[in-house]
A and B are shown apart, each in its own frame.
Chain A
Amino acid sequence: MTTAHAEAANGTLPHEPEKATLEGRNKVLAFWLFLGGEAVLFGTLFATFLALRNQTNEGPSANELFHLPLVAAATFLLLVSSLTSVFAIQAMHRGRVTMLRNWLLVTVLLGLCFLVLEIYEFSVYIRHEEFGMTTSAFSSAFYTLVGFHGAHVAFGILWISVLIGQLLHKGLTVVTAPKIYVSAMYWHFIDVVWVFIFTVVYLLGKVG
């Protein structure tokens, strides 16, 4: 810990700056725990969706509704953004601050595109298909599960943007590094959840 501080002071960071201080290690550990809780949260939402996915109440069903190319494009964007966040962390470990910043920017931009596609998708359903929150148990479960994920993406975009701001202001230190590392964990988690949504909601909705 003391050596890490010393290194930070003369401008060189340790290889894994996110784990250089006790605070940093605590943060990473607690975030793993938090993601455990998030897994239960999404698990419960998935279970709810699975229980209700055929309860269409004479409204549109999954098969009629979903347009796979659009969703596939969104999936692609999010998967790539996960990759770019890996590049960001790799840049961080090599101490390349500009590269780190750029990769984070790319990640945020991809996330934004994903979100735009999702909002577009929802608006089509609501305006042209008369498929809203109140239509059926299926619609409620759909909007809640996918919407929760969307809200997580939105929060992630805000969060990483603030971190980019911090990076510009304070540079890469043993204080900012754990935050960036943890936000990347969060971003991967969201991505994994999306893979499940893509499978369980969209693919299964089309074929199941």
Chain B
Amino acid sequence: MDWITTVDHKKIAILYLWAGGIFFGIGGLEAILIRIQLIKPMNTFLDAQTFNELITMHGTTMIFLGVMPVIFALMNAVIPLQIGARDVAFPFLNALGFWTFLFGGILLNLSWVMGGAPDAGWTAYTPLSSTGYSPTHGVDFYTIGLQIAGLGTLIGGINFLATIITMRAPGMSFMRMPMFAWTTFITSAIILFAFPAITVGLVLLTFDRILDANFFNVAGGGNPVLWQHIFWIFGHPEVYILILPAFGVISEVIPTFSRKRLFGYSSMVFATILIAFLGFMVWAHHMFTTGLGPVANALFSVSTMLIAVPTGIKIFNWLFTMWGGQVRFTTPNLFAAGFIPTFTMGGVTGVMLASAPADFQFHDTYFVVAHFHYVIVGGLVLGLFAGLHYWWPKMFGRMLSETLGKWTFWTFIIGFHLTFFVQHFLGLMGMQRRVFTYLPNQQFDLLNLVSTIGAMLMGVGMLIFLTNIFLTSRRPADAADDPWEDGRTLEWTIPSPPPEYNFKQTPLVRGLDAFWKEKMAGHKAMTPSEPVGSIHMPSATILPFLMSVGIFIAGLGFMFSRDEFSSSIMSFLFNNYIVTALGLLITFGSMLMRSLFDDPGWHIEPEELEGR
């Protein structure tokens, strides 16, 4: 119950981590099944339909339900602490964002047991995703599930923007803000401007499928390429929503374990902003082969390649930070160090793909698959591992085992390169993506076998990580405030795990890397910016949970509104939109409750603060 009603950002972080972890596991299983099917030519382990469902759900689950929530987990766990705040700007909305994400994710995965998963690829290209080619409810689960989950992301984005703008501790100007807070800020801005586009796209596709609208239906005057534009104007910024937080993590971990300040801090900030801006200008590089014409292709080609410039600045700044530092290869830093070359390789293949004429050759082959897994797994997932190992003691008060951590790193990264390095060559040799099998003796056999073995090894790495978590959770929570001893930012100045009010007294920030600055001046703690006083806290509430349940019910009701059921009661309830209305009633009713009964919150008094 405590967990269902919580509005504490640190607990919400743990909820995000759990939910994200579970979805990540599901996505991982799907990946293993895909790789088993491709282990040898003409395999009959899976049929074509199941294979399509698996690749669709794998991509969708991993991107929207796996890595996004883990990113949000880290942001929730760390951002208020890093900027010296007691909470986020809107704790209630924070909880709401989590629950809508979770119920959207559950809805999407219900498709496995309710008559067929989506099968049109994670990009849901029309007409493949129209009722003509995809007659089951699969794609409806996709459009409505993602719609609900996307709502949660948007809420989270606005919340972080407001939090970072207004809740920074005294003295923390924007140019003294830790890099992870910066990337969270920019990521949230991208979310704000990219997610509404996919919201519209999903609505249009839903209307086409459920209300027989004609947006993408050529026979009715619609245009399938319109879907691609809408999808990618969201989709390309989305990949920067994924990678920028990882950049942020790396920019925290490397300076800490090099005992040096981040090289070129202001150029890092500038590069982040530039990447976000350019990210919105390049969406059509996913559409070179749709026939946009040479002028459009050339423009999008060049603008895409421009992104390599700020990205390169970042890579060199990380290298210069390590250069001459007292580098310690703890587990987080191993992951960070592994990130740099791996991500760079993904960037290089990106520039190759950005060359429109070359892309005609690479498009829809395993070369593209290799590219985006190098950036998403070799970049983002390594970054998340670095961040999780780094902040675990702060989140849970327990140090993860370094030995197991190193085992995780080596099995995972070796498995990763085995899996995806060879896919570059499979792609160059012409193996198509999204096809459920291949003929023997095209020189695809051996490389596919290698790839599958690599995937298994990554799975082993994940299992070691889970073992590490399990063993750690049984040990006493005795991590020090600053367990890595070289912490530079504010989160390391308070106990691990932090008390629910975070800071007894809001700290005064006197420079970049505020804590490090105080340490160098010979102080053991931050100077407070206020006397100890009564702290106001928001009350726990069930309403965010209820609102999300309502939306979930409404979504299911709408999805089945055209179906005929064997029971006439069911038909009556669904076909007259009664279920939908009921769901919306729950949601709007909860909103009304929230509006009518103001939350006075509660106070933690100074005596209590001193007592602990």
Residue from A55, A135, A166 with most neighbouring chain B CB atoms (10 Å) = A55
Q: Which residues does chain A contribute within 8 Å of B201, judged by CB atoms?
A: 44
Q: Which residues does chain B contribute within 8 Å of A41, judged by CB atoms?
A: 196-197, 199-200
Is there contact, CB below 8 Å, between A22 and B166? yes
Closest-by-CB residue of A relative to B200 is A44
Is there contact, CB below 8 Å, between A52 and B595? no
CB distance from A111 to the nearest CB of B (A): 18
Chain A 43-80: CB-based contact to B (< 8 A → 1; otherwise 0):
01100100110011100000000000000000000000
Q: Which residues does chain A contribute within 8 Å of B162, judged by CB atoms?
A: 26, 29-30, 33
Is there contact, CB below 8 Å, between A133 and B212? yes
The distance in angstroms between the C-alpha atoms of A158 and B212, with both chains bound, is: 29
Which of B194, B214, B592 makes the CB contact (< 8 A) with A139?
B214
Asked whether A140 is an interface residue with its Cβ less than 8 Å from the other chain, the reply is: yes
Is there contact, CB below 8 Å, between A40 and B215? no
The distance in angstroms between the C-alpha atoms of A25 and B163, with both chains bound, is: 11
Asked whether A171 is an interface residue with its Cβ less than 8 Å from the other chain, the reply is: no
Closest-by-CB residue of A relative to B222 is A137
Is there contact, CB below 8 Å, between A56 and B200? no
With known contacts A37-B154, A44-B200, A55-B222, A137–B214 Cβ distance under 8 A = yes
Asked whether B542 is an interface residue with its Cβ less than 8 Å from the other chain, the reply is: no
Is there contact, CB below 8 Å, between A138 and B213? no
With known contacts A30-B90, A30-B159, A144–B207 Cβ distance under 8 A = yes
Which of B89, B158, B203, B595 makes the CB contact (< 8 A) with A37?
B158
Q: Which residues does chain B contribute within 8 Å of A135, judged by CB atoms?
A: 214, 220
Q: Which residues does chain A contribute within 8 Å of B199, judged by CB atoms?
A: 41
Is there contact, CB below 8 Å, between A140 and B222? yes
Q: Which residues does chain A contribute within 8 Å of B165, judged by CB atoms?
A: 29
Is there contact, CB below 8 Å, between B215 and A140? yes
Is there contact, CB below 8 Å, between B595 and A40? no
Asked whether B217 is an interface residue with its Cβ less than 8 Å from the other chain, the reply is: yes
Q: Is the interface of B mostly helix, strand, loop or mixed?
A: helix
Is there contact, CB below 8 Å, between B221 and A137? yes
Chain B 587-609: CB-based contact to A (< 8 A → 1; otherwise 0):
01000100110100000000000
The distance in angstroms between the C-alpha atoms of A190 and B382, with both chains bound, is: 44
Is there contact, CB below 8 Å, between B213 and A140? yes
The distance in angstroms between the C-alpha atoms of A137 and B226, with both chains bound, is: 12
Is there contact, CB below 8 Å, between B214 and A140? yes
Q: Which residues does chain A contribute within 8 Å of B204, judged by CB atoms?
A: 48, 140, 144
Q: Which residues does chain A contribute within 8 Å of B211, judged by CB atoms?
A: 133-134
Is there contact, CB below 8 Å, between A134 and B158? no
Asked whether A108 is an interface residue with its Cβ less than 8 Å from the other chain, the reply is: no
The distance in angstroms between the C-alpha atoms of A45 and B202, with both chains bound, is: 12
The distance in angstroms between the C-alpha atoms of A33 and B90, with both chains bound, is: 14
CB distance from A56 to the nearest CB of B (A): 7
Q: Which residues does chain B contribute within 8 Å of A33, judged by CB atoms?
A: 158, 161-162, 192
Interface size range on B against A: 35 or more
With known contacts A26-B89, A44-B230, A137–B598 Cβ distance under 8 A = no
Which of A38, A51, A133 makes the CB contact (< 8 A) with B213?
A133
Interface size range on A against B: 35 or more
The distance in angstroms between the C-alpha atoms of A102 and B198, with both chains bound, is: 39
Asked whether A11 is an interface residue with its Cβ less than 8 Å from the other chain, the reply is: no
Asked whether B360 is an interface residue with its Cβ less than 8 Å from the other chain, the reply is: no
Asked whether A36 is an interface residue with its Cβ less than 8 Å from the other chain, the reply is: yes
With known contacts A33-B192, A52-B215, A137–B220 Cβ distance under 8 A = yes
Asked whether A34 is an interface residue with its Cβ less than 8 Å from the other chain, the reply is: yes
Asked whether A81 is an interface residue with its Cβ less than 8 Å from the other chain, the reply is: no
CB distance from A184 to the nearest CB of B (A): 16
- Residues 120-141 of A at the B interface (beta carbon under 8 Å): 133-141
Q: Which residues does chain A contribute within 8 Å of B154, judged by CB atoms?
A: 37
- Residues 224-261 of B at the A interface (beta carbon under 8 Å): 226, 230, 233
Which of A56, A137, A138, A141 makes the CB contact (< 8 A) with B217?
A137
With known contacts A45-B200, A162-B592, A37–B214 Cβ distance under 8 A = no
CB distance from B88 to the nearest CB of A (A): 10
CB distance from B237 to the nearest CB of A (A): 11
Q: Which residues does chain B contribute within 8 Å of A138, judged by CB atoms?
A: 221
With known contacts A25-B166, A29-B165, A141–B196 Cβ distance under 8 A = no
With known contacts A52-B221, A139-B214, A166–B596 Cβ distance under 8 A = yes
Q: Which residues does chain B contribute within 8 Å of A165, judged by CB atoms?
A: 596
Is there contact, CB below 8 Å, between B596 and A56? no
Q: Which residues does chain A contribute within 8 Å of B131, judged by CB atoms?
A: none
Is there contact, CB below 8 Å, between A30 and B230? no
Q: Which residues does chain B contribute within 8 Å of A112, judged by CB atoms?
A: none
Chain A 129-165: CB-based contact to B (< 8 A → 1; otherwise 0):
0000111111111001000000000000010001101
Closest-by-CB residue of A relative to B161 is A33
Q: Which residues does chain A contribute within 8 Å of B166, judged by CB atoms?
A: 22, 25-26, 29
Asked whether A175 is an interface residue with its Cβ less than 8 Å from the other chain, the reply is: yes
Asked whether B195 is an interface residue with its Cβ less than 8 Å from the other chain, the reply is: yes
Q: Which residues does chain A contribute within 8 Å of B592, judged by CB atoms?
A: 162
Is there contact, CB below 8 Å, between A37 and B195? yes
Which of B192, B213, B214 makes the CB contact (< 8 A) with A36?
B192
Residue from A52, A139, A162, A166 with most neighbouring chain B CB atoms (10 Å) = A52
With known contacts A34-B158, A48-B226, A144–B203 Cβ distance under 8 A = yes
Q: Which residues does chain A contribute within 8 Å of B196, judged by CB atoms?
A: 37-38, 40-41, 44
With known contacts A51-B223, A133-B212, A137-B215, A40–B193 Cβ distance under 8 A = yes
Closest-by-CB residue of B relative to A137 is B221
CB distance from B18 to the nearest CB of A (A): 27
Is there contact, CB below 8 Å, between B207 and A140? yes
Closest-by-CB residue of A relative to B221 is A55
CB distance from A188 to the nearest CB of B (A): 19
Closest-by-CB residue of B relative to A56 is B221
Q: Which residues does chain B contribute within 8 Å of A133, judged by CB atoms?
A: 207, 211-213
The distance in angstroms between the C-alpha atoms of A192 and B555, with both chains bound, is: 30
CB distance from A116 to the nearest CB of B (A): 21
- Residues 138-180 of B at the A interface (beta carbon under 8 Å): 154, 158-159, 161-162, 165-166
The distance in angstroms between the C-alpha atoms of A140 and B221, with both chains bound, is: 10
Residue from B208, B214, B226 with most neighbouring chain A CB atoms (10 Å) = B214
With known contacts A140-B207, A162-B595, A51–B226 Cβ distance under 8 A = yes
Q: Which residues does chain A contribute within 8 Å of B595, judged by CB atoms?
A: 162-163, 166, 179
Closest-by-CB residue of A relative to B226 is A51
Q: Which residues does chain B contribute within 8 Å of A34, judged by CB atoms?
A: 158
The distance in angstroms between the C-alpha atoms of A37 and B156, with both chains bound, is: 13
User: B residues within 8 Å of A by Cβ?
Assistant: 89-90, 154, 158-159, 161-162, 165-166, 192-197, 199-201, 203-204, 207-208, 211-215, 217, 220-223, 226, 230, 233, 588, 592, 595-596, 598
Contacts A38-B196, A44-B201, A55-B214 aside, 6 further interface pairs with beta carbons under 8 A come to: A30-B161, A40-B197, A56-B221, A137-B215, A140-B220, A144-B207
8 contacts between A and B (CB under 8 A): A25-B166, A41-B196, A45-B200, A133-B211, A135-B214, A135-B220, A137-B221, A144-B204
The 5 closest A-B pairs by CB, nearest first: A55-B221, A137-B221, A140-B213, A41-B196, A40-B196
